Amino acid sequence: MANTLLMPKATAVWLVDNTALSFDQIAQFCGLHPLEVKAIADGESAQGIKGMDPIMTGQLSRDEIARGERDINHRLKLSEPKVRVPESKRKGPRYTPLSKRQDRPNAILWLVRNHPELKDAQISRLVGTTKSTIEQIRNRTHWNSPNLTPMDPVTLGLCSQIDLDIEVQRASHGRPPAAPTGDTLLPAAMTERLEPETGAHEEEEKELDADAVFAKLSSLKSKHEDDEDEDDLHRR
């Protein structure tokens, strides 16, 4: 079995809360993206995941953490495992105890919302359900949809954090980064070609036509003088 980190997200949660390591160092050690580690630190990701101490599990030493805190460019190294754990090879969906089967729809809803990259077959392996049930919950046609509450399958005991992390990593492997959302600035090449509308420009020229303004003032003055002459005639 390859020397790989167990429960990377739970380990990242612990490192964020208990060390002064940088986001890049934690991301490199846990196999995550630095922005994902930042989201964990901000409380936007990995909610409900309990941090796992890598020192207690023998995957990281205190000296290695101290070296990383002193040198921001230091890359953390995974400790050599003292015990070799054979890789389990399980085929088919997971068996779910009868007492926990009623929680499966809530777990499926949590997985669909929080990990949309997971395929139906992966969700089926994690919580031991059928593809038809997953489709019903995705499409909100499940008979109990109004009463379902998304709940972490790890917290419910339907799967382990290790299995969940493995399936998420498999689903995310090779996926292109998400496109940026929100308003963006126009390229300079486009803004340089923008010109004021012709109609608005002509209207502005009309408003600033000095000859027309003076002509109007002259007509008003002549009318005013004619009115004064008429008043003088009436007085006489």
The dihedral formed by the CA atoms of 49, 51, 56 and 62, expressed in degrees to the nearest 10 = 150
Cα(30)–Cα(27) distance, rounded to whole angstroms?
5
CB 119 within 8 A of CB 171: yes
This prediction has a pTM of 0.39
Contacts 24+ apart (CB under 8 A), 43-51: 46/9, 46/10, 46/12, 46/13, 48/152, 48/154, 48/155, 49/9, 49/10, 49/13, 49/152, 49/154, 49/161, 50/10, 50/13, 51/10, 51/11, 51/13, 51/14, 51/15, 51/16, 51/17, 51/18
What angle is formed at CA 135 by the lines to CA 132 and CA 138, rounded to 5 degrees?
155
The 10s digit of each residue's pLDDT in 120-165 is 999 989 988 888 899 999 998 988 888 889 989 888 888 888 989 9
The 10s digit of each residue's pLDDT in 36-68 is 999 998 888 877 788 889 988 888 999 999 999
Helices (H), 183-209: 188-191, 198-207
Instruction: Name which of 137, 133, 155 is nearest 147 in CA terms.
Output: 137
pLDDT at 14 over 90: yes
Instruction: State mean pLDDT over 25-43.
Output: 90
Give the pLDDT of residue 111.
93
Instruction: Name which of 172, 123, 113, 182 is nearest 148 in CA terms.
Output: 113
Give the pLDDT of residue 63.
92
CB 51 within 8 A of CB 18: yes
Non-local (6+) Cβ contacts of 37 within 8 A are: 12, 16, 23, 26, 27, 30
Instruction: State mean pLDDT over 171-177.
Output: 67
